Amino acid sequence: MDLKRFRRPVGPVLSLLFVFVLSGAVTLLVLWMHPVSTKAMLLNMLRLQPHLLVLNYLPIFLLVLAFAFLFRNAFYSAALVGFVTAGMSIANRLKIQIRDEPLVPRDFGLLKEAADAAGSYDLHLPWTLIACVVFFSLVCVVLGYLLPTRRRESGTSVRVWLVRLGGFAASWAVLACAVTFGYSSTDLYNSFAVSNPYYLPGVCNDLGFPYFFCYHFSTYQLAKPEGFDRQTAESWETGDQTAEDAPEVNVIFVMNEAFSDLTNYDVFTYSEEDDPLKTFNALCESENALSGHIVVPGFAGGTANTEFDVLTGMQTNALNPAATSASAFRCVNRDLDSVFRLFTDEGYHTTFLHPGDAWFYNRENVYQWLGAQDILFAEDFQDSQSKGRWVTDETVARNLIDRYEDSMAAGTPVMDYAVTIQNHMSYTADKYGEGYVFPPVETDATLSEEASTLLSVYIEGVRDADAMLKTLTDYFDQRSEPVVLVFFGDHLPYLGDDRLVYRELGLPIGDESGAEDPFCAYETPFLIWCNDAGAEAVDLSAARESLELPESGRISACFLGATVLELTGRGDVSPWFSFLNQLRRELPVVQNGRYETLDGTVLTELPQELSQQVDQWRQWSYYKLKYKTVE
């Protein structure tokens, strides 16, 4: 069939109208690829937040406009943009299907890793959707041929091309500015009502893929350290050693949600019997323990960031110092060196346990990259009990004990890392169900009703954390195998807007402008406790001096894992962890441009030698996150 006789050239005004209409069609096509009801999504946007439709439409429109200038044809442009963007939306759907994680811009830097991993997944391609995208593009191509833009009689070809290229470049420039200065707004992103702000696939479905994707151009970015040289960083990775002389001790980390020693402040008046931390405080004074505080990445939140710091020895707050909020686990997308891998290489059975959802903080993927052999979430816990909506600390303790007994029966040493959830906010009166009676807060301070409620609910969780610690230490105290238990908090609790509880208690925590101690808002307690066999195996009495911990007992969270490795005789197995322990002896605390030396001096500027060591640490971290291939 001769199609030429059906061609009807159209003027530039009508072509521009086609750009508007076709951009809408492409936007609907992209949204249709979501793994949820498109109708429900659109109705929700129209009813509650119609400007979301504009935010999803605008980048598609600018892309269609750009290529309409270049091709001088709105339909050809829509064919290309529709094929690419709808294809990306299908890829987003598939990634959610196999990894429970949406597609974000950084994924395009991992195409090789994605191709290598594709064979391990049972992919079920949505052929119907793919066929619809191809059909849409073919229809646009045919319409583009039948409805070309009319050529002007006047004007040189050079002038025509200048207009085409100028319009193409201008459209891309507007898009780049919109993404950089508009779509990157965290305030705008957080202003939208979503079903679950912590579940990224749900957020993507609520906000729409085009807007979600554009927003994430500004997130999860690693800042390249000044002076970074890949070959130099690679040279630091030499010098691995075996751990032939290291004692075979079982190591168990327990990171307890929002655990703090807040009630040890003088403003509290608990008796020894009523002390919410009576087990913890007693163990800190025992001869089988080391204790102190770790300085964590954030105040009142950021659990996974502390996990990242402890297990890798890297620092969340240094991944991108320019970012207003860091999310370390969202920067992880490859196998990394970690405490898990070091113990796994020695024949230990390594496990991560968390009685929460696998998708939260992308843990289900990150802990594979960190090298944990078993990864357990809420559905994997045996005889799980809840207190209110959260799984209890006691449940976690019992599961740790059960798994420990299974490993001992199999003759395999263990290295476990458990993250609890019971004392997660919010600390409202109904946290543990209607009618639950909380013991009164014993304090000299005069508290408002709101502050008293927040504090009494939070301290009830601290009591249960202390009871968990007692369960574990009582059990391991009876075991003949050597055990090292590391118990610590992930961050201080969020106790009301504008630091309500901290203010009413008269504590400077969270108010850096008025705090003499710049780290007080970021420190949580840690306890390294050994049973008798463990204390003997690691020679704990000698380790008190050899570890050279600061007199204050305060170290950055990123040094805790390395400290435990040194305590258990593995400090020099890895050049990375050996370097961390050396740096810890010089600068036990590093936090957002402030440094604390071994004698407690706080610095904001470092002498050259120490500055070079910190620079090496940053560059080495960047190399590991971007380039190192873990065997």
**Token pair 């109705």 in the structure block, residue:** 43
Which fold does the domain 230-626 belong to in CATH? Alkaline Phosphatase, subunit A (3.40.720)
Which of the two residues, 98 and 299, has the higher pLDDT score?
299
pLDDT reported for residue 100 = 65
In the chain, what are the domain boundaries?
A: 3-218, 230-626
**pLDDT beyond 70 at 152:** no
pLDDT reported for residue 219 = 75
Of 108-122, 312-326, 496-510, which has the strongest mean pLDDT?
Answer: 496-510
Rounded mean pLDDT of 419-436?
Answer: 93
pLDDT reported for residue 474 = 98
Phi, psi of 524 (to 5 degrees): -125, 155
Q: What is the dihedral of CA 108, 113, 119, 122, to 10 degrees?
A: -50
Sheet holding 349-353, edge to edge: 374-376, 349-353, 414-419, 250-256, 483-489, 523-530, 289-295, 554-556
pLDDT reported for residue 515 = 61
Q: 441-464 pLDDT, tens per residue?
A: 999 999 999 999 999 999 999 999
pLDDT reported for residue 120 = 44
Q: 206-241 pLDDT, tens per residue?
A: 999 999 999 988 776 788 999 999 999 999 998 777
Q: Work out the percent of the chain whose per-residue pLDDT is above 90.
A: 69
Q: In the structure, how many helices (H) and strands (E) does the chain have?
A: 23, 13
E strand intervals along 131-185: none
Q: 321-343 pLDDT, tens per residue?
A: 655 445 788 888 889 999 999 99
Q: Work out the percent of the chain whose per-residue pLDDT is above 70.
A: 93
pLDDT reported for residue 359 = 80
pLDDT reported for residue 538 = 96
